[in-house]
Structure 1
């Protein structure tokens, strides 16, 4: 059985819904043509991570953004995981959703580990994880900085997650996250991690690209450079048994 997962790395839409959905339409069309189960896109892609007035753009869960995303997924027969600015009453969340190929929401997550003073001034932190079924695989959502926290990754592994889907907005010069941190967490916790970043610039942020799909034995199944890329990898592969770790079983607290 194959299980292809697609990852799209591209520039920010800079607050333009039309630019965002045109890019997603093209990426989903290509991903579906390659048989992908779902496509993972960057953090706060709607309206763009570094836009100047996020609260003015933020939308309700299930609002117009969701409806357009659902229509795209259904049209192409390919699911999508994407970050967006979510409004819930007076609060704004850095959120992500997973839609299946029929456009149904199967996962929803609010970023727990907010990064830096800007995020903390805009967003309220989430307080729950999201684990769900994706085509028969136990999957979970994290967002950017979340993936750097071992206890959070460990909690998902303990809940049975085999696949962690991560929209991100990682700036220069932090390529160590995709080169080192993501593969290390993949092998240490026995999970596949799909880490989807931006490329290019947005305001005063230069993104480092370097999106990656890492397997439970730390094998890099696909990796992007600094420019736009659509990656597809079949994650249904047998990891090297000699490299599989047993920390979840062996850990002995003191």
Structure 2
């Protein structure tokens, strides 16, 4: 049995103010540590705020920049691993990225969003050829994805086949699509026999109204959820024993027709 307590930081971002966002993240990590959480998950593009058309390039930072260095220090100081979204200035342009930092402050994974959503993202960000990556957090195999990525069954299946027990997802989900937190997210967990942690923004940014409803979905399709669209730190403990039990009951992975399907 391996248990890991998750803290999902449903944050009302202070747009274009990385130092303020770093300070808020520190407070959230301190509260997560008090709750004995081993992993804190932030929303998508936490550093800058999500809805910043025309300003992405000006605020983006490399993985070695001040903001991610501050996240690494927060992880070291609190002993909590952190998955944090940020606009990454990389080779050839800006990536919609999420850095997974261990509780010792070391960079474990830098996930670049695989699937860009809509005209805004496609005009401000570029994609890489990186694949789903898995690392260990407190004895649990964790794979980061970002928002739209999780809506593709192939992405979560790739994580599952790579050994992931938890898919951790910073997101920016608006009210129009709130139903996804109650339907698609639990389905991804159920059909792959793993956990999905889905951390959303709170409040609004310009014309985007976020639904909140950050969610931890379990392998049996049940889920825990934030109360609404306001700021909240959702704390949920997961147990990897649930994975084996659910996969034994519904062995989707073993029963796949790999002779007919590519994966």
TM-score bracket, normalised by the shorter chain, equals over 0.9
CA offset at residue 90 of structure 1? 3.3
Alpha-carbon distance in 2 for matches of 1:102, 1:238: 26
Match of 2:39 in 1: 38
- Aligned to 1:45, the other structure's residue is in SS state coil
Can you list the C-alpha shifts for 1:18-52, whole angstroms capped at 9, x where unaligned? 32112111111100001000100000011111123
Alignment gaps of 5+ in structure 1: none
Check whether the contact 2:22–2:67 (CA below 8 A) recurs between aligned residues.
no
CA offset at residue 238 of structure 1? 4.1
Match of 1:83 in 2: 85
- Aligned to 1:239, the other structure's residue is in SS state helix
Match of 1:199 in 2: 202
Alpha-carbon distance in 2 for matches of 1:113, 1:188: 21
Match of 1:2 in 2: 3
TM alignment of 1:168-187, pairs within 5 A? 168-187=171-190
CA offset at residue 2 of structure 1? 3.2
Alpha-carbon distance in 2 for matches of 1:239, 1:217: 8
Match of 2:23 in 1: 22
Residue 89 to residue 237, structure 1, CA distance change in 2 (3 Å): closer
TM alignment of 1:73-222, pairs within 5 A? 73-128=75-130, 129-222=132-225
Match of 1:230 in 2: 233
Alpha-carbon distance in 1 for matches of 2:48, 2:226: 25
Of 235, 245, 250, the residue aligned with 1:245 is: 250
Check whether the contact 1:195–1:212 (CA below 8 A) recurs between aligned residues.
yes
Of 154-163 and 122-131, deviating more is: 122-131
Can you list the C-alpha shifts for 1:76-104, whole angstroms capped at 9, x where unaligned? 11111011000113311000011111111
Check whether the contact 1:13–1:45 (CA below 8 A) recurs between aligned residues.
no
Alignment gaps of 5+ in structure 2: none
- Aligned to 1:96, the other structure's residue is in SS state strand
Check whether the contact 1:175–1:210 (CA below 8 A) recurs between aligned residues.
yes
Residue 242 to residue 2, structure 1, CA distance change in 2 (3 Å): closer
Alpha-carbon distance in 2 for matches of 1:206, 1:49: 11
CA offset at residue 4 of structure 1? 0.6
CA offset at residue 196 of structure 1? 0.2
- Aligned to 1:102, the other structure's residue is in SS state coil
- Aligned to 2:160, the other structure's residue is in SS state helix
Alignment RMSD: 1.6
Alpha-carbon distance in 2 for matches of 1:173, 1:199: 14
